[in-house]
Amino acid sequence: MSATPGLEPPYGGRDPRGMAALIDAIPEHIEAALARTDAAPWRVPGAAPELVAVGGMGGSAIAAELTGALGEAAFPRPWLVVRDYRWPACVRPGALAVLSSNSGNTEETLALERVARERGVAVVGMASGGELAARLRAAGDHVQALPAGFPPRAALFHAWVPMSRLPAALGWADDAGADWREAATLARSRRATLGPESPEPVNPAKRLARACAGRTIAVYSGTGPLGAVALRWRHQLNENAKVLSSCAVVPELNHNEIVGWQGAGPSHANRTVIVLRDPEDPAEVAMRLDLTAEYTARRGAAVHEIRAEGASRLARMATLVQFGDYLSLYLALLGGADPTDIASIDEFKRRLAAARHPR
């Protein structure tokens, strides 16, 4: 098989803002974030909180989703992720509110900061600057500094590393530093196979992108860590590749979504199912994923499996995220889309502002 034009660098005008380089630099992002959080660890106010509520949107929230999914079986108290303007009623004095905004200017996150103070909830945050960082520093609250200039989704590891070290600062878990060092080593090794310089015939991410191009994609997994990874894959397929996709987890999808495949018709022949697998999937989860893959294939879908690799659960999650990021990049290139562009979000913000302040 010879490499098909379209996925080999240089990408030039097809990737004018350098998303490929940002994804390729994931190992360095991990190492930089480790060094930054070693030098400036979390400063947590007061006694151990009764719960942690992380407020953020989009790429600024997914680090909290991944952290919570990794720790859900071990954390002694609840870990919530809130994507909204207001906290649920349980976020009250005794809780810790963690505000996450890459830019520091996300309006929903700023609203959550204000509501947290009105309720007397302790606050810390994570931002590259902006209004959020200014408010927190003015109040004497801790801010984990993020590097500026990244699209939020491309800054995931800069945010995920410090977010994953917060549970250790709370006494809820062991520090994740050693697992992140494994993840950086694995990601660097896998870059040689998955990255732009690896030609399509030997590059699993490029081959999967070619197989998925022009198709509707569903990402399926078990719950917990890989459920959060599947959510990240969906977000990257949306934002980088500009394709509609879905994600769902077993066992829940076997009680509802599976019926959506029941209908006859040619549409299923244009659908792809990507099943994310982990060696620690419980036997009942592995069986459900096997049967789900078999059933959707019988209904006409193209089914692909991606298996997590690595010793630690965190490293396996991180390298699966890396694979999904590359996949979304290559799908963007095949579809002729600028992987960095978010014109639809920018337009929506303009329309929202106009609706609030009509002339």
Secondary structure letter of residue 276 according to DSSP: E
pLDDT in tens, 38-61: 999 999 998 889 999 999 999 899
pLDDT in tens, 30-39: 999 999 999 9
Beta carbons within 8 Å of 69's beta carbon, 6+ residues apart: 224, 225, 227, 228, 317
Nearest of 160, 130, 201 to residue 314 by alpha carbon: 160
Beta carbons within 8 Å of 28's beta carbon, 6+ residues apart: none
Distance between CA atoms of 346 and 71, rounded to whole angstroms?
34
pLDDT of residue 268: 82
Does the active-site annotation cover 255?
Answer: yes
The active-site residue, picked from 107, 197, 347, 349, is: 349
Residue 129 tokens, joined? 């600057």
At residue 152, what is the residue type? P
What residue spans define the domains of the chain? 19-175, 191-335
Task: Check whether the bond before 88 is cis (ω within 30° of 0).
Answer: no
- Domains 19-175 and 191-335 alike in fold: yes
Among the ranges given (84-88, 102-106, 268-272), the one the predictor scored with the smallest mean pLDDT: 268-272
The fold of 19-175 is Rossmann fold (3.40.50)
Flag whether pLDDT at 3 surpasses 50.
Answer: no
Beta partners for residue 248, in sequence order? 220
The active-site residue, picked from 255, 294, 305, 347, is: 255
Average pLDDT, the chain: 95
Please report which confidence band the pLDDT of residue 325 belongs to, taking 50, 70 and 90 as the band edges.
very high
Flag whether pLDDT at 1 surpasses 50.
Answer: no
pLDDT in tens, 165-180: 999 999 999 999 999 9
The active-site residue, picked from 206, 239, 242, 268, is: 239
Does the active-site annotation cover 349?
Answer: yes
Q: Residues 247-272: what's their mean pLDDT?
A: 90
pLDDT of residue 2: 42
Does the active-site annotation cover 239?
Answer: yes
Terminal Cα distance for the chain, rounded: 60
The fold of 191-335 is Rossmann fold (3.40.50)
pLDDT of residue 265: 64
Q: Residues 236-260: what's their mean pLDDT?
A: 97
pLDDT of residue 263: 82
Beta carbons within 8 Å of 102's beta carbon, 6+ residues apart: 59, 60, 127, 128, 146, 150, 152, 155, 159
Cβ burial 218-229 (10 Å sphere, 16+ → b, else e): bbbbbbbbbbbb
Q: Residues 90-102: what's their mean pLDDT?
A: 98
pLDDT of residue 267: 72
